[in-house]
C-alpha cells in the first residue's frame, strides 16, 4: 500500500461507532496506519464513550468536540476543524460511515481537498428529502470516490444517480460484523437483572426521529399506542436525549416514567442493548440500524416511519413499516406478538466479513 499519510476513520454520532469498529480492526490487522477521529457530535458518556469501551475501540486519536447545535452550525464547525486536521496529516484516505452530519461534513472537506474518500453504507435512499439523513446520504455519495454498499438495491440507486459501476462495491453490512462479533458476549450483560425483565417477555422501543418526537400531536399519538401495547407486553424504552427533552417539554415524562409496564431507562451501551434486543419479543423503532439488526437476529420489528432507506429489511427481513398512526402501530404490534418470530432471510453478505472485504478492496485500489 501507499507510503503517503494515514487513513482517517471518522466517527461522530452513536450509530457510527459500531460501524467503524470492525473496519478499524480489519485495517489494524493489515498493518495500515490509521487515525480514529471523533467529531464530538455525540458527547454524553452513554451516547459515546460506553460504545468505545464495549466495542474494544481505542480512545479517539483526535477529538474535535463540536457538540450539539443547529445542522448548519454543527456541520460548519466540523468542517472548519476537520480541514485543519487534513492539512496537518495529509491523509491518503478518509473513511466515513452512515448518514449523520459528521459524515457529510468530513466528506465535503475531503472532497474539496481532493483527498480520496470512501463511504461505507452508500446508496441507501428513503426518497424522503425531509429527513436530514437523506440529504447527507445524497451529498456524501455524490462526492465520495469509493462507495461500499450493503445490498444490490443500493448499487442500483447509485447507478441510477450516475455513479460508475467500477466505484461501487457491494461488500455487505459492517453493523452486522459488530453484531456477530459481540453476540457471544451478551451473557456478560447484567441488564436483565437491572431492569427486572425475563428474556423473551418484553418489547424494546427506541424513538428519536425529529418527525416523530418534535411535534407534540405526533409524539402524543405514538405514546398513546405504546400505552395500549404495554397492556400486552412490557416495553423497555431507553430514551434518547432528544426524546427526553421533548417528553419533558410536552408534559409526557411523568406518565411514561410512572407506567409500571413501561421501563424507561437512560440510553444503553452497546452490549446491554444487543443483549436486550436479541432476547426481545418485539422491537418498535424509528432507527435505521435497528431495522437491520432485527433482520439479522430474526426479531420482529415494527418501524414507526412512513418510509425506509433499508427496504431489504421489509422485502426479505422481519421489518414492517407502519408509519406513526397510533391504530396501525398497535395492530401491527399485536399481530407480531401473536404470530411470534417471522419467516425471514438474512440478506446476502450480512455475514460478519464485510470489514475484511472493505480492507481487501482498499488494498486492491492501492489506497
Binding segment for ligand UD1 (CB under 6 A), chosen from 35-43, 164-172, 217-225, 255-263, is: 35-43
Of 99 and 292, nearer to ligand UD1 (C-beta) is: 99
Are 75 and 101 in contact, with CB atoms under 8 Å apart?
Answer: yes
42 is catalytic: no
Are 232 and 334 in contact, with CB atoms under 8 Å apart?
Answer: yes
| Cα–Cα dist 205/267, whole Å | 11
Under the binding rule (CB under 6 A), the answer on residue 249 touching ligand UD1 is no
- Pick the catalytic residue from 208, 232, 240, 344: 208
Under the binding rule (CB under 6 A), the answer on residue 14 touching ligand UD1 is yes
Under the binding rule (CB under 6 A), the answer on residue 339 touching ligand UD1 is no
Of 26 and 36, nearer to ligand UD1 (C-beta) is: 36
Q: Give the strands of the sheet with 202-206, arranged side by side.
A: 262-265, 234-238, 202-206, 282-285, 301-303, 319-321
* Of 356, 324, 126, 143, the residue nearest 225 (C-alpha): 324
Under the binding rule (CB under 6 A), the answer on residue 344 touching ligand UD1 is no
| Cα–Cα dist 195/85, whole Å | 43
| Cα–Cα dist 25/56, whole Å | 10
- Calculate the CA 175 to chain-centre distance: 8
Under the binding rule (CB under 6 A), the answer on residue 43 touching ligand UD1 is yes
Under the binding rule (CB under 6 A), the answer on residue 326 touching ligand UD1 is no
Beta partners for 118? 95, 146
Under the binding rule (CB under 6 A), the answer on residue 132 touching ligand UD1 is yes
Count of Cβ atoms closer than 10 Å to residue 318 Cβ: 24
Residue 332 CB-density burial (10 A; 0-12 exposed, 13-18 middle, 19+ buried): buried
* Of 36, 39, 37, 45, the residue nearest 13 (C-alpha): 39
Q: Which of 8, 10, 15, 105 binds ligand UD1 (CB under 6 A)?
A: 15
Are 118 and 93 in contact, with CB atoms under 8 Å apart?
Answer: yes
The minimum distance between CB 194 and ligand UD1, in angstroms, equals 22
Binding segment for ligand UD1 (CB under 6 A), chosen from 7-15, 52-60, 159-167, 346-354, is: 7-15
* Of 229, 204, 182, 224, the residue nearest 281 (C-alpha): 204
Under the binding rule (CB under 6 A), the answer on residue 241 touching ligand UD1 is yes
The minimum distance between CB 247 and ligand UD1, in angstroms, equals 13
The minimum distance between CB 86 and ligand UD1, in angstroms, equals 20
Output phi, psi for 57, to 5 deg: -80, 145
Under the binding rule (CB under 6 A), the answer on residue 365 touching ligand UD1 is no
Q: Which of 101, 157, 189, 278 binds ligand UD1 (CB under 6 A)?
A: 101
| Cα–Cα dist 354/367, whole Å | 18
Under the binding rule (CB under 6 A), the answer on residue 5 touching ligand UD1 is no
Binding segment for ligand UD1 (CB under 6 A), chosen from 28-36, 41-49, 150-158, 173-181, is: 41-49
Of 22 and 40, nearer to ligand UD1 (C-beta) is: 40
- Which residue ranges make up the site for ligand UD1 (CB under 6 A)? 13-15, 41-44, 47, 68, 99-101, 132-133, 208, 240-242, 245
Catalytic sites, residue numbers: 208
Amino acid at each position: 500500500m501507499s507510503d503517503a499519510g494515514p487513513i482517517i476513520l471518522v466517527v461522530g454520532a452513536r450509530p457510527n461507532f459500531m460501524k467503524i469498529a470492525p473496519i478499524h480492526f480489519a485495517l489494524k490487522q493489515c498493518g495500515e496506519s490509521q487515525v480514529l477521529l471523533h467529531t464530538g457530535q455525540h458527547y454524553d458518556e452513554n451516547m459515546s464513550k460506553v460504545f468505545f469501551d464495549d466495542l474494544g475501540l481505542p480512545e479517539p486519536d483526535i477529538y474535535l468536540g463540536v457538540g450539539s447545535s443547529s445542522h448548519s452550525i454543527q456541520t460548519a464547525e466540523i468542517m472548519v476543524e476537520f480541514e485543519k486536521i487534513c492539512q496537518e496529516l495529509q491523509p491518503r484516505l478518509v473513511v466515513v460511515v452512515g448518514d449523520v452530519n459528521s459524515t457529510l461534513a468530513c466528506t465535503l472537506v475531503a472532497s474539496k481537498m481532493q483527498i480520496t474518500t470512501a463511504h461505507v453504507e452508500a446508496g441507501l435512499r428513503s426518497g424522503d428529502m425531509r429527513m436530514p439523513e437523506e440529504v447527507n446520504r445524497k451529498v456524501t455519495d455524490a462526492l465520495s470516490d469509493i462507495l461500499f454498499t450493503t445490498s444490490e438495491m443500493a448499487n442500483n440507486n447509485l447507478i441510477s444517480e450516475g455513479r460508475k459501476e467500477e466505484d461501487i462495491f457491494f461488500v455487505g453490512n459492517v453493523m452486522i460484523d459488530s453484531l456477530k462479533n459481540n453476540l457471544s458476549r451478551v451473557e456478560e450483560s447484567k441488564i436483565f437483572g437491572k431492569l427486572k425483565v425475563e428474556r423473551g417477555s418484553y418489547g424494546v422501543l427506541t424513538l428519536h426521529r425529529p418527525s416523530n418526537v418534535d411535534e407534540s400531536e405526533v409524539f402524543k399519538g405514538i405514546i398513546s399506542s405504546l400505552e395500549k401495547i404495554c397492556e400486552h407486553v412490557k416495553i423497555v424504552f431507553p430514551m434518547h436525549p432528544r426524546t427526553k427533552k421533548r417528553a419533558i417539554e410536552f408534559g409526557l415524562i411523568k406518565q411514561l416514567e410512572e407506567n409500571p409496564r413501561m421501563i424507561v431507562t437512560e440510553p444503553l451501551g452497546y452490549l446491554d442493548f444487543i443483549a436486550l434486543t436479541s432476547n426481545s419479543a418485539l422491537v418498535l423503532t424509528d432507527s435505521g440500524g435497528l431495522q437491520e439488526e432485527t433482520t439479522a437476529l430474526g426479531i420482529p420489528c415494527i418501524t414507526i416511519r412512513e418510509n425506509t432507506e433499508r427496504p431489504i429489511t421489509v422485502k426479505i427481513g422481519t421489518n414492517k413499516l407502519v408509519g406513526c398512526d397510533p391504530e396501525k402501530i398497535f395492530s401491527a404490534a399485536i399481530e407480531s406478538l401473536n404470530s411470534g418470530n417471522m419467516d425471514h432471510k438474512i440478506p446476502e453478505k450480512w455475514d460478519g466479513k464485510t470489514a475484511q472485504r472493505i480492507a481487501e478492496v482498499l488494498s486492491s485500489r492501492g489506497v
